[in-house]
Amino acid sequence: MSDDPFQCREDTLAYYRIKVRHLVNLAQAQLAYCTRLSTTLEERDAAKLWRQYCSTLLDVSREGWVDTKVDQVKRLIREKRDVKDITATNALIESGALELLVNDWILRSKGDEAAHPGPLEKGDLERYRLAIAAVGDEQQERRLTGCISYLFAVEACK
C-alpha cells in the first residue's frame, strides 16, 4: 500500500468520480425506460438512448421566451410517465437533477478521466500492482502483470 497520502486521496477521488458517473448512467437508463425511449432497463443501452435523445434537443428562443433542453425533457417525462412514477419524477424534476441528466458532459468527462487517466508511467507502477493484487485471482494477476510488462516494453521501443 502506498505511503503517499496525496496518492490515496487521488485514487479515492477517481473512484468517486467513477461512482458518480455510474449513478448518472443509472438515472438516465431509468428515465429512458420510463419515457419509453428504451424497452429495457439494461443500463448501458438505455442510458445511451437517453443521451442520444438529449443530443437531438436544442435550446430555442422565441420572443423573449426560452424553451431549454431541460424544459423539453420535463414535458417528455410528464407526457410519458406512468401514474405510479409521478411522485418520483416530480421529486427528480424539483431537485434540479435533470440539468445533470440532460447536460451530463462534465460529469461524464470527469468519470472518463478517472477511468482512463492516460499512458502508464513508471510512477504508476506500484498503484497498478496494488490494484492487480486486489483482484485476488492468480491467473488474472499473471495476465495483467503481462499487460504492464508489455506497455513498458512498447514504451522502450519508441
50 and 111 both lie in a single domain: yes
Task: Report pLDDT digits (tens) over 14-38.
Answer: 788 888 888 989 999 999 999 999 9
Cβ neighbors of 124 (< 8 A, separation 6 or more) are none
User: pLDDT band for position 49 (50/70/90)?
Assistant: very high
Residue 92 reports pLDDT greater than 70:
yes
Rounded Cα distance between 67 and 61, Å, is 6
Domain total of the chain? 2
Q: Cα torsion at 13, 19, 23, 25 (round to 10°)?
A: 110
End-to-end CA distance of the chain: 31
Looking at the fold, whether 71 and 95 belong to one and the same domain comes out as yes
Residue 9 sits in the same domain as residue 25? yes
Q: Which of 99, 115, 131 is the last residue of a domain?
A: 115
- Claim to verify: residue 143 and residue 66 sit in the same structural domain: no
Share of the chain above pLDDT 90, in %: 30
Are residues 78 and 142 both part of a single domain?
no
Same-domain pairing of 145 and 87: no
| Residue with grid cell 423539453, as numbered in its chain | 72
Q: Has residue 11 got a pLDDT over 60?
A: yes
- pLDDT confidence of residue 158: 55
Are 96 and 151 found together in one domain?
no
User: Looking at residue 47, what is its pLDDT?
Assistant: 93
Which of 115, 131, 147 is at the close of a domain?
115
Are 126 and 111 within one domain? no
Q: What is the pLDDT of residues 62-88, one digit of tens each?
A: 777 777 999 999 999 999 988 888 899
Cα dihedral across residues 114, 115, 120, 123: positive or negative: positive
Per-residue pLDDT at 1 exceeds 50:
no
Residues 10 and 61 in one domain: yes
Asked if 82 and 153 sit in the same domain, the reply is no
The yes-or-no verdict on residue 41 having pLDDT over 80 is yes
Digit-coded pLDDT (tens) for 106-131: 777 877 787 777 777 878 788 888 88
Range of the domain at 132: 122-157
pLDDT at 3 over 70: no
| Domain shared by 93 and 139, yes or no | no
87, 136: one domain: no
Instruction: Supply the mean pLDDT for the chain.
Output: 84
